[in-house]
Amino acid sequence: MLAVMSDRYDAIVLISFGGPRVPDDVMPFLRNVTKGRGIPEERLAEVAEHYLHFDGASPINEQTEDLYEALVQGLANSGHPMPVYAGNRNWTPFIADAFVRAHADGHRRLLAVVTSPYACYSSCRQYLEDIERALAETRLDSVLAVDKVRQFFNHPGFIAPWVRGLEEAVVSLREEVEDLKAEQIEVLFCAHSLPVGYESSSGPKDGRGVYVAQHLEVARLVLAEMAQRGGLELPNWQLVFQSRSGPPQMPWLVPDVNDAIAEIDTSSRKAVITVPISFLSDNMEVIWDLDNEAAATSRDLGFAFRRVPTPGTAPVFISALVEMIGERQGWVEGRCSVGKFDAWFDACPPGCCTPERTGSPRIVRVRTSGEESMTGASRVSVSREAMN
């Protein structure tokens, strides 16, 4: 059963993406991730090399375990301890495993905390479908009720770790690059790329295309808070994309982070900072695509490079998760958010984030102007090559 309930919940389920633990897990895991998307085996084998470079183990597993422990402790510290279970979309323990364990322990009303901050099919609606499927597969759909905590891209507890990390990255760069000025730094806020149809259908029916808008808002909030706290303004920034997959003929959001780095003016910039605002943990996509590939691209062009850490188990972020659980449990009043968006829905309206699977590819462009509160340029487009 999926419905917003007025009764209190008796357990939490932490739901994450999942990842392989040993080399033999890698290809089955990747097949789970790409099921039904027509990804050729040779492409999966190419991505598998990223995991095999790290002995087949994804860092997301340890980091999800750390998040689990931090959430358990955070709930205890709040004075509202609750049982917490963990399950993944794509690898063991699966979501269904968590439901079976929770049911066996006598719980009947579960609240899911999903490790995806933004609104789109793959980071919100698909998890709701995963929950429904797991309930059906376990035949617990008539005895377990499961709801989900809202998307939290604009919770101040999610914004704060990015602000601190960006501040620390600037300090670190200035120790490496003599007399480095703010305008000599290019800040790349990195979002996970999506098929264009997924982006254009993100959000409710009366307000589509929120995925890019939410990322842009997070970038602006981070920069504004940084300027307010320490007076440091970073005028040169972009929203870029990483980690695309899917058939080459399908248009995805661009520019890719490496393409964006290649276009940076080497005469006016000395450093690049990547800020992976789509991600909660330093997973394989962050480590490979940014720490490996984007770092190499930057250094090949003569730029100093830093990557801001993800929120992970930052105390302010754990407190935010606990607070949002408290919203649903009734021991926190109000629904905290910052910026131009209201706090997101507790229950998504019908048709929210339903992906467009047909229709012609289209070019999407988003730019900020100097007239806005934060200067800089952000752009989103579909490469013409992808449309051929």
Q: How many helices and strands, by DSSP H and E, does the chain display?
A: 12, 10
What average pLDDT does this structure show over 78-88? 98
Of 278, 236, 284, 280, which Cα lies nearest the Cα of 260?
Answer: 236
The sheet with strand 185-192 has its strands ordered as: 237-242, 185-192, 271-275, 304-307
For residue 380, pLDDT beyond 70: no
Residue 222 token pair: 């981070």
* Cα R_g (the chain), whole angstroms: 21
Confidence label for 370 from pLDDT (cuts 50, 70 and 90): very low
pLDDT at 214: 98
How many Å apart are CA 385 and CA 388, to the nearest integer?
6
Q: What is each CA distance from 196 to 260, 266, 337, 382, 387, in whole angstroms?
A: 18, 30, 27, 8, 11
pLDDT in tens, 242-300: 999 877 788 999 999 999 999 999 999 999 999 999 999 999 999 999 999 999 999 99
CA distance linking residue 137 with residue 119, whole number of Å: 26
pLDDT tens for 295-305 read 999 999 999 99
pLDDT at residue 363 above 60? no
146-159: average pLDDT: 98
SS3 254: strand
Strand segments, DSSP code E, in 255-379 are 271-275, 304-307
**What pLDDT is stored for residue 40 in this prediction?**
84
pLDDT tier at 379, thresholds 50, 70, 90: very low
Rounded CA separation 5/2 (Å) = 9
Q: Tell me the mean pLDDT in the region 71-100.
A: 98
Domains observed in the chain: 11-152 (3.40.50.1400), 156-313+350-387 (3.40.50.1400)
Average pLDDT of the segment spanning 325-343: 96
Once rounded to an integer, what is the mean pLDDT over residues 54-64? 96
Q: What is the pLDDT of residue 382?
A: 33
Place of tokens 């490979």: 288
| pLDDT at residue 341, as a whole number | 96
Q: What mean pLDDT is reported for the chain?
A: 90
pLDDT of residue 357: 52
74-83, 326-335, 362-371, range with the lowest pLDDT: 362-371
What confidence score (pLDDT) does residue 243 get?
94
Q: What proportion of the chain, given as a percentage, has pLDDT over 90?
A: 82
What would the pLDDT profile of 3-33 be if each residue is shown by its tens digit?
Answer: 454 459 999 999 999 999 999 999 999 999 9
